[in-house]
Amino acid sequence: MRTFAKAALAASALAITGAASAADLSAPRPLPAYKAPIVPVYTWTGFYVGANIGWGWTDGDGTLTTALGGPGPISGSGDGFLGGIQAGYNWQMGNWVLGFETDFDGSAGDGNLGGGPAATPLAATAKTPWFGTVRGRIGYAAGRWLIYGTGGGIYMNEKLDGTIGGVGFSSSTTAWSWVAGAGVETMLWDPRWSAKVEYLHAGTPDEVPTPPGTTGITGNINTDMVRVGLNYRF
């Protein structure tokens, strides 16, 4: 009887162990927790500084009036490299971005200006050694991309060197005008860095250098420029 009881107890233990093992095998194991990928948050808000380089071109026509020869038509054109620095601030509100930017550039370009009265003809070289702009910006942001329009004022130094009626002269002035354009900017591998391509058009300056013996130059001058730039945001 004792042997039979021991055998029965052993069989019961094996049955319980087998049932527990079967329960372990059939019980579902919890899946590992899902971790959503980290989506970078791009923001254009903040101060930035940067540098730019580009190409500008100018053409114009008008009238030069001299004391001896009276009025006469003049025209000219020029182009050249330019480059400088910029700084600004952006405010992002949803997808819209408002901003302010100022820049200062030097220019290596020049152009020829000629014509005038037959009795006192003008032959000169025109240059804009430096200029700067003060502009507002409004744009639409989509992730790391920003498309914007811009407009404001431009100030510049203008120089005119040449001859009028065969007499040499040199004249310069500082002038203002309006400027407007558009551009696209994108954040790079590090969202603090961004690169842009920008087009600007400037209107006729409020003053131009005046050769001696003249009552002034009137007309229209149109200046266009394309610049690429690199910005760092704080």
Q: What is the DSSP string of 7-63?
A: HHHHHHHHHHHHHHHHHHHHSPPPPPPP-PPPPP-----EEEEEEEEEEEEEEEEEE
* 134-150 burial: b if 16+ Cβ within 10 Å, else e: ebebebebeeeebebeb
| Pair of tokens at residue 106 | 């030097």
Report the greatest alpha carbon distance in the chain.
147
Give residue 4's pLDDT: 43
Burial (0-12, 13-18, 19+ Cβ within 10 Å), 229: buried
Give me the pLDDT at residue 34, please: 58
- Tokens describing residue 82: 């330019």
Which residue ranges make up each domain of the chain? 46-233
Mean pLDDT value across the chain = 87
pLDDT given for residue 214 in this prediction:
86
- State residue 32's pLDDT score: 64
Burial group, residue 161, by CB count within 10 angstroms (0-12, 13-18, 19+): middle
Q: What is the CATH number of domain 46-233?
A: 2.40.160.20
Q: What's the pLDDT at 99?
A: 97
Q: Could you tell me if residue 20 is left (phi over 0), alpha (psi between -120 and 50 degrees) or otherwise beta? A: alpha
Question: In the prediction, which pLDDT does 213 show?
Answer: 85
What pLDDT, on a 0 to 100 scale, did the predictor assign at position 92? 96
Residues forming a β-bridge with 200: 181, 225
What pLDDT, on a 0 to 100 scale, did the predictor assign at position 31? 62
Q: What percent of the chain has pLDDT over 70?
A: 82
DSSP 116: -
At 28 the pLDDT is 60
pLDDT under 50: residue ranges of the chain: 1-25, 39
- What pLDDT score was predicted for residue 216? 78
pLDDT of the residue at 35 = 64
